[in-house]
């Protein structure tokens, strides 16, 4: 089956939905989500979205903080665009109904690691739900935007270095459909599911990054996986996030005996950038053999906690932890992919008619470490640039032709369990060998093990009918290998990449580029 649209957007997180909202009403748009429309990291965002919104703050400080947190690898033009557009981004979200928390008629601004001022606007601790539902409400009744839920993209349609859409599996019918489009936007989120423990939902399997890699794009700085310092440590919590905004409000990290430890690592203590806090926790856990450390916000009044962090309060209580009187057990977990598909300020990749926005993209705004609450901001700002770039072009009326997907040479697998075994193996290897602290030996072990898994995945892909799990496995192994290749290529420690064998930062700031030969 061939579907034809002016624009195909793969992914319905905040980057995808914002792109759709900003596209001209004259364009026909298809939006594809591999799960329910609202599912994705955007929905779970807690802390907020950063912007200069108070008289005590200014753009130059937001830019300087972002570049400093990025460890010398941030692209100043990308950071400047993002920061200078931030107040407009907040206004645009407010216009579509995002009810940012206010106090005394002003935004209630919080702070998080790396920020030198209070500049994080938020909707209590449910910022993501609010942004996602507001964006979705705006586009759901637009007759030009066609939503395809439970459709998973397999590969891009690329000929002569130009993209014309993608092959997409309809998960309900198991049919593979050809979506042909003049412009394709990848908005598929990050690859944190490559790690055993992650704050991310199941959708973050690096699909867009892997598809773009196979299509010939440059994938940049993938070694910079951000580990969020504080995910809830509980067997049933599935790495539920405990927002950095708690530390912004004074919460302290403590050892099981109640001793504070962050002063030993950084003068900014709990509000040092995430790479420093996550490494400090990792070091305390490994040195002392602790399963977790603890976060303490119990000095705040219960009603204050319930008002500012209703979601976190309720979730912890559901696990038997009353955070107004008890310590919260926390561990670091993979949270954010700083690298991705290389794009310019208009979100254009180096493949014609192919764009990337949000966590799947590498705009240069985050460098070697993303500052807290700059991700939703990047999604909103670059989605707008992307849509404006497309709106400014005259699109052709004729569509190129592509072959239908051919599955005549494959059969139904009777060993689906292999897929889940390989999936689990990849995530354990990444956690054990490519984690917060790395070494040459561990990275090379990961490379060898992943290469073996790649052979098995290729074999499976060649022989059997494609399924959603197989598509994700194929993308996960590709993303994991790109992360390892990038990590091996970086012979220094910088930002989120710490290698014991090269503990110092090099003088020169160089991006790591991985491209399919």
Q: How far is the CB of 125 from ligand FAD (least distance, A)?
A: 8
> How many beta carbons lie within 10 A of that of residue 328, not counting itself?
25
Two tokens at 481? 């290998």
Query: Does 33 contact ligand FAD by CB under 6 A?
Result: yes
Q: How far is the CB of 120 from ligand FAD (least distance, A)?
A: 8
Which among ligand FAD, ligand SIN, none contacts residue 49 (Cβ within 5 to 8 A by kind)?
ligand FAD
Q: 104 in the Ramachandran plot: left (φ > 0), alpha (ψ -120 to 50) or beta? A: left
Contacts (CB under 6 A) with ligand SIN, residues 198-257 = 243-245
Distance separating alpha carbons of residues 503 and 11, to the nearest angstrom: 38
Distance separating alpha carbons of residues 313 and 251, to the nearest angstrom: 14
Would you call 355 helix, strand, or coil by DSSP? strand
Q: Toward ligand FAD, which CB reaches closer, 130 or 493?
A: 130
Q: Which residue, 116, 99, 95, is CA-closest to 107?
A: 99
Contacts (CB under 6 A) with ligand FAD, residues 121-150 = 127-128
Would residue 274 show up in a list of annotated catalytic residues for this protein? yes
Distance separating alpha carbons of residues 396 and 307, to the nearest angstrom: 53
Catalytic residue among 80, 247, 274, 427: 274
**Site size toward ligand SIN, by CB under 6 A:** 8
Which among ligand SIN, ligand FAD, none contacts residue 244 (Cβ within 5 to 8 A by kind)?
ligand SIN
Query: Does 373 contact ligand SIN by CB under 6 A?
Result: yes
Q: In 104-250, where do the E strands start and end?
A: 106-107, 120-121, 145-149, 151-159, 162-170, 175-186, 219-220, 225-232
Four-residue CA torsion sign, 261, 267, 273, 275: negative
Among 12, 14, 28, 46, binds ligand SIN (CB under 6 A): 46
Contacts (CB under 6 A) with ligand FAD, residues 347-386 = 358-360, 373-376, 379
Select from 46-54, 60-68, 387-395, 450-458 the region that touches ligand FAD (CB under 6 A). 46-54
Query: Does 189 contact ligand SIN by CB under 6 A?
Result: no
Contacts (CB under 6 A) with ligand SIN, residues 47-66 = 47
Decide if 232 contacts 364 (C-beta within 8 A).
Answer: no
Which helix or strand (DSSP H or E) is residue 69 part of? helix 59-69
Q: How far is the CB of 180 from ligand FAD (least distance, A)?
A: 16
Residue 168, strand partner residues? 153, 177
Among 231, 372, 379, 488, binds ligand SIN (CB under 6 A): 372
Q: Toward ligand SIN, which CB reaches closer, 19 or 373?
A: 373
Distance separating alpha carbons of residues 105 and 503, to the nearest angstrom: 48
Q: How far is the CB of 335 from ligand SIN (least distance, A)?
A: 6
Q: How far is the CB of 33 from ligand FAD (least distance, A)?
A: 4
Decide if 191 contacts 476 (C-beta within 8 A).
Answer: yes
Decide if 239 contacts 333 (C-beta within 8 A).
Answer: yes
Select from 29-37, 79-87, 348-356, 408-416 the region that touches ligand FAD (CB under 6 A). 29-37
Q: Which residues lie closer than 8 Å to 392 by C-beta, 6 or more apart?
A: none
Q: How far is the CB of 427 from ligand FAD (least distance, A)?
A: 16
Decide if 337 contacts 356 (C-beta within 8 A).
Answer: no
Q: Toward ligand FAD, which CB reaches closer, 49 or 73?
A: 49
Which among ligand SIN, ligand FAD, none contacts residue 233 (Cβ within 5 to 8 A by kind)?
none
Q: How far is the CB of 2 from ligand FAD (least distance, A)?
A: 18
Catalytic residues: 274
- Binding stretches for ligand SIN (CB under 6 A): 46-47, 243-245, 372-373, 375
């Amino acid at each position: 089956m061939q579907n034809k649209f002016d624009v195909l957007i793969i992914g319905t997180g905040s980057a995808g939905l914002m792109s759709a909202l900003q596209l001209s009403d004259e364009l026909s748009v298809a939006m594809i989500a591999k799960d329910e429309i609202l599912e994705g990291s955007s929905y779970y965002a807690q802390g907020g979205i950063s912007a200069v919104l108070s008289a005590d703050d200014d753009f130059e400080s937001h830019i300087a903080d972002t570049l400093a947190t990025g460890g010398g690898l941030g692209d100043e033009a990308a950071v400047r665009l993002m920061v200078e557009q931030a107040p407009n981004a907040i206004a645009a979200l407010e216009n579509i109904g995002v009810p940012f928390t206010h106090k005394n008629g002003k935004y209630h601004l919080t702070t998080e690691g790396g920020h030198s001022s209070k500049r994080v606007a938020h909707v209590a601790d449910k910022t993501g739900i609010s942004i996602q539902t507001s964006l979705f409400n705006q586009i759901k009744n637009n007759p030009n935007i066609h939503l395809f839920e439970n459709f998973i993209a397999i590969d891009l349609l690329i000929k002569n270095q130009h993209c014309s859409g993608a092959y997409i599996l309809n998960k309900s019918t198991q049919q593979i459909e050809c979506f042909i489009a003049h412009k394709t936007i990848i908005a598929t989120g990050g690859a944190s599911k490559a790690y055993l423990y992650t704050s991310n939902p199941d959708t973050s399997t690096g699909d867009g990054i892997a598809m773009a890699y196979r299509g010939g794009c440059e994938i940049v700085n993938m070694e910079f996986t951000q580990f969020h310092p504080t995910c809830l440590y509980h067997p049933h919590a599935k790495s539920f996030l405990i927002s950095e905004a708690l530390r912004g409000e004074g919460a302290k990290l403590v050892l099981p005996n109640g001793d504070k430890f962050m002063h030993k690592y950084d003068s900014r203590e709990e509000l040092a950038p995430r790479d420093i806090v996550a490494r400090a926790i990792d070091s305390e856990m490994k040195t002392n053999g602790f399963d977790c450390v603890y976060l303490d916000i119990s000095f705040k009044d219960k009603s204050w906690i319930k008002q500012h962090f209703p979601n976190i309060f309720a979730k912890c209580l559901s696990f038997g932890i009353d955070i107004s009187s008890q310590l919260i057990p926390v561990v670091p977990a993979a949270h954010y992919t700083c690298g991705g598909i290389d794009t310019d300020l208009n979100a254009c990749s180096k493949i014609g008619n192919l764009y990337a926005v949000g966590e799947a993209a590498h705009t240069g705004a985050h460098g070697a470490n993303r500052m807290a609450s700059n991700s939703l901001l990047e999604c909103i700002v670059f989605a707008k640039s992307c849509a404006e770039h497309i709106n400014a072009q005259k699109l052709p009326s004729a569509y190129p032709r592509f072959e239908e997907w051919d599955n005549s040479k494959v059969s139904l697998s009777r060993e689906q369990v292999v897929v889940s075994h390989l999936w689990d193996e990849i995530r354990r290897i990444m956690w054990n060998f490519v984690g917060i602290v790395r070494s040459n030996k561990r990275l090379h072990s990961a490379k060898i093990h992943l290469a073996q898994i790649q052979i098995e995945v290729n074999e499976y892909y060649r022989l059997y009918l494609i399924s959603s799990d197989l598509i994700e496995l194929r993308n996960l192994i590709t993303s994991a290998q790109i992360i390892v290749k990038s990590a091996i290529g970086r012979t220094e420690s910088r930002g989120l990449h710490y290698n014991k064998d090269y503990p110092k930062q090099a003088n020169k700031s160089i991006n790591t580029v991985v491209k399919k030969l």
